[in-house]
Amino acid sequence: MAQPDPDHPQIYLISPTAFDPMTFAPSLASLLDAVEIACLRLAIAESDEDAVARAADMCREVAHARDVPLVIDRHVQLVERLGLDGVHLTDGARSVRATRKTLGADAILGSYCAASRHDGMTAGETGADYISFGPVGSTDLGDGTRAEADLFAWWSQMIELPVVAEGALDVALIEALAPVTDFFAIGPEIWRHEDPLRALTELTAPLR
């Protein structure tokens, strides 16, 4: 994962939760060719291991050809087998220590901590490479609790570990959070559009 730039937040791209690898590959490739992406996360919701492996193989081939690291949601056991760069955990700090022991020091290990400052700090202390907070925007998912701007402001002042903002992002939120976050994790916001690249360009206009 690219090192954070304190003056310029980077884009962390999240895949769709469902896609056909053959048809999605050209769209992903064109987006990675057009926009600088710090990391790609495979967030496929498929429970079939073979289907996950096919999606991961395609994403790895496209991403690694462009020097973009690929992490996968939750599936720690697939990281080494599929030649991925790491994992994005979704259970706060609970499995960070064990996962770091399993994957070793070189793997990228991210931890989604919702809006919990305590979980974020614990995850960092037990081996996470970055902490993700969210959702930052209004959404019907989860319990409705948002990761507010003051959490990111505090984190950026007190903690050196990179922080990612994600969940229901819009242009106004990106503009407001840009001074206090290292990465914006963007996925659902663009894949629902006919032209994802255009949607990403418009969404991230405040970063340019």
Question: Structure pTM?
Answer: 0.96
Q: Please give the residue range of the domain that contains residue 55.
A: 10-207
146-207-40 Cα angle (round to 5): 70
What distance in Å separates the CA atoms of residue 143 and residue 140, rounded to the nearest whole number? 8
Predicted confidence (pLDDT) per residue in 160-202, tens digit: 999 999 999 999 999 999 999 999 999 999 999 999 999 999 9
> Any idea how long the chain is?
208
Q: How many structural domains comprise the chain?
A: 1
* Sequence-ordered list of residues with C-beta below 8 angstroms from that of 73, at least 6 positions apart, any chain: 41, 42, 43, 44, 87, 88, 90
The reply to whether 149 falls in a domain is: yes
* Sequence-ordered list of residues with C-beta below 8 angstroms from that of 132, at least 6 positions apart, any chain: 88, 110, 111, 112, 113, 163, 164, 165, 166, 185
pLDDT at position 12: 98
What distance in Å separates the CA atoms of residue 98 and residue 150, rounded to the nearest whole number? 30
Q: How far is CA 178 from the centre of its chain?
A: 16
pLDDT at position 6: 56
* CA-closest candidate to residue 1, choices 102, 84, 125: 84
pLDDT at position 171: 98
The pLDDT confidence band at residue 130, using thresholds 50, 70 and 90, is very high
Instruction: Decide if pLDDT at 156 tops 60.
Output: yes
The reply to whether 95 falls in a domain is: yes
SS3 category, 13: strand
Query: Which single residue is written with the structure tokens 């990281």?
Result: 79
The reply to whether 3 falls in a domain is: no
Q: What percentage of the chain has pLDDT greater than the value 90? A: 91
The reply to whether 1 falls in a domain is: no
Instruction: Decide if pLDDT at 125 tops 80.
Output: yes
16-134-118 Cα angle (round to 5): 135
The CATH number assigned to the domain holding 35 equals 3.20.20.70
The reply to whether 4 falls in a domain is: no
Which residue spans within 2-158 are E strands per DSSP? Answer: 10-14, 37-42, 70-73, 86-89, 108-112, 130-133
pLDDT at position 20: 96
**How is residue 162 written in tokens?**
């990179």
The reply to whether 5 falls in a domain is: no
